[in-house]
Chains A and B, each alone.
Chain A
Amino acid sequence: SYVLTQPPSVSVAPGKTARITCGGNNIGSKSVHWYQQKPGQAPVLVIYYDSDRPSGIPERFSGSNSGNTATLTISRVEAGDEADYYCQVWDSSSDHPFWVFGGGTKLTVL
């Protein structure tokens, strides 16, 4: 089955740029979605279709996807951005397609 690999943790100082990667075989050919999950809360969709932002998500959140790596970029990081982030794709490589999530990355704001 398709595997998405994320770094367990990323740390960044306030006001700087955080980049969270999601690795997968030829992931550039898939549509990648990103979710933010704060402690005790449900996930929130922050990026869909590689780089589109749902209504209400700040422009500081952006995404890219090429080759074997998709990246979520958070500019001008704020304390409130501290959360777990998950990438997601639809794996249609078999007769039984399904949603796959990455293992998640904990973003720490220093």
Chain B
Amino acid sequence: QLQLQESGPGLVKPSETLSLTCTVSGGSISSSSYYWGWIRQPPGKGLEWIGSIYYSGSTYYNPSLKSRVTISVDTSKNQFSLKLSSVTAADTAVYYCARHQGSGGGIYYYYGMDVWGQGTTVTVSS
């Protein structure tokens, strides 16, 4: 059974870079059928997609965050990572990683995000 697990610092200072990793177990991140994404949820608010990556390194980013976001993949470790630069208090949220279908040609938008990590809380504060 595929499982995703987020990890990283729970506290980040303003203006610094938030770094998180999602470890995939029970399956291969190099599967040709999936994209791997990051989604966040500020306290008491809704879900916001940050971006997604294919095992080959192909990425899609939320235009509103694109200038500050880098998502990368390490197939040897079965992990993918998120870096969000110049963080402010508005970036305080629970960060989730999730899987959704796609191929080298792009995301299969008729399928949703079927496997999620449990989420990790990141607080931006000095």
The residues of A with any CB-CB pair to B shorter than 8 Å are 1, 30-31, 33-35, 37, 41-45, 47-49, 54, 86, 88-90, 92, 94, 96-104
Residue with the greatest number of chain B CB neighbours at <10 A, chosen from A96, A98, A100, A101: A98
Q: Kindly list chain A residues whose C-beta atoms are within 8 Å of the C-beta of B46.
A: 86, 101-104
The residues of B with any CB-CB pair to A shorter than 8 Å are 37, 46-49, 52, 60-64, 66, 96, 107, 109-114, 116-119
Count of CB-CB pairs between chains A and B under 8 Å = 70
Q: Kindly list chain B residues whose C-beta atoms are within 8 Å of the C-beta of A102.
A: 46
| A43–B47 touching, CB < 8 Å | yes
Instruction: Please measure, in the bound complex, the distance between the C-alpha atom of A49 and the C-alpha atom of B114, giving whole angstroms.
Output: 12
Chain B residue at minimum C-beta to C-beta distance from A100: B49
Distance in Å from the Cβ of B42 to the closest Cβ of chain A?
12
